[in-house]
Structure 1
């Protein structure tokens, strides 16, 4: 069911998709004329953009874009582009990645700080979860209109739990920088790609930063205690049953180790081990 926030003119439409995220859904959003992350075609999303059986009855959207090109965010980009005739936009630095994931050649591009097509929605680079990850700032809703107050943040943040930032897609240094950027951005609400709206962006971002730094300390302690391989670090860093998520935990540990190598905080022998992990 679509969830609309009248104060901000943002409509959230969860769609059931094949995703590892809790709840098994990805949120599409309609905001300021932009359709973001149409992961699957649903009746609720058709209704949110005023789509009738023959196409749009009203010009509810002026552009289509995605927060990043992971499969659970892009599944219906091509279908909604064809149904509505709305132009599709991709990040200027990741056009090929977008086209490969969606099967759609974009009609236009955007870069950090630019508005998307003819909408008033502004792109905010937030890499880390994925190299192409971007959020979208919506200025509607604040009475004085002086600053963006809603951010469609994709997989940057979630209201509960944490976001996977795992190798080879994830970059923890970039992810932490992105969380700090959004934490300090003055947003009133975050609209994640999975789960409910976040009403306290500063606290949510700081919680996720603290979680990542806690995990980093556990990974570093495992290395300093003599762990000589990724599996040994995983066993030491996670004190819980990893059934069903062992691959995600391992990818996360590799990303942490890559960050520690890049910062010179663990020995260069780990660079060789991680290169072998990637088959380099």
Structure 2
């Protein structure tokens, strides 16, 4: 009971977090499953398919039937438990779409696909601006592609359930082809336009100054883009070589993620006419800066 109590915590009169036991360098202490509302709540990001986590969510619900189960995006650490939780509670699963929804046209040779829940199918699709509500709570869906094409944030006017789009403990991995750097940066800009919010991320602790964090993430991405462009002035280079140069202090466990972030920058620069690949675009391609 002690371990369960440690993973279940109240973050407000209408908000409980149930922490999944899947810690890693990419998930911090684990996936945050948020339960919003008291009488008829909403479950946000059921998390990974772990029987113990399912039972802890049900214990936190205390017999209440959720109005909805909302999935921010179709990565296994957020969505895999949704079908089982829906079967146990009778609540519908809501999301922007399946794992392919919102993706740009696929390109061969980019790799990717790590952790994607290709089997995920929501019962109902949420479009940008759609509302999900219950007694005492109301959420507006904000489509925020970038980390993944079907990524949603959920906004109640004071708090933003930010999934993997904005976290406090680390920046977000943008891994093509599921991830798109141009979309991610534009989504950050749209979120900053909402104004002050408390961020409730999919991993890590809440961020009280959510607007400051969003602005910081945007500045970080634009600074990385500038570093990539500057590095390309020295001559053509691959995403791996650029990452090794730019991310000098990154631990080995995170180096592949850094390379994929750089690839995402290169693909965005190519689309904007600021860089181009020598030959077919691929993970191993060499890119040049446009003179």
TM range (shorter): 0.7 to 0.9
C-alpha deviation, 1:95, in angstroms: 3.7
1:171 aligns with 2:180: yes
Question: CA separation of 1:252/1:36 partners in 2, compared to 1, >3 Å: closer, same or farther?
Answer: same
Alignment match, 1:239:
248
Q: Give yes or no for the alignment of 1:228 onto 2:246.
A: no
Q: Which residue of 1 aligns with 2:10?
A: 4
Partner of 1:108: 124
- TM-score, length-scaled by structure 1: 0.82
Q: What displacement does 1:47 show?
A: 2.3
8 A contact 1:129–1:175 mirrored in 2: yes
* Aligned CA distance change for structure 1 residues 273 and 234 (closer, same or farther; 3 Å): farther
1:67 corresponding residue in structure 2:
72
User: Helix, strand or coil: the match of 1:258?
Assistant: helix
Out of 36, 43, 56, the residue aligned to residue 35 of structure 1 is 43
TM-score by length of 2: 0.80
Distance 1:215 1:273, change over 3 A: farther
- Which secondary structure does the structure 1 equivalent of 2:57 belong to? helix
The alpha-carbon deviation at position 227 of structure 1 amounts to 3.5
Corresponding position of 1:49: 61
Partner of 1:78: 83
Q: Of residues 263, 266, 274 in structure 1, which corresponds to 2:281?
A: 274
After superposition, where does 1:47-196 map in structure 2 within 5 Å? 47-50=59-62, 57-59=63-65, 61-91=66-96, 94-95=97-98, 97=100, 101=117, 103=119, 105-116=121-132, 120-138=138-156, 148-196=157-205
Whether 1:23 and 2:32 are equivalent positions in the alignment is no
CA RMSD in angstroms comes to 2.4
- Unaligned regions of 5+ residues in structure 1, if any? 51-56, 139-147
User: Measured at CA, do residues 241 and 107 of structure 1 come closer, stay the same or move farther in structure 2, by a change above 3 Å?
Assistant: closer
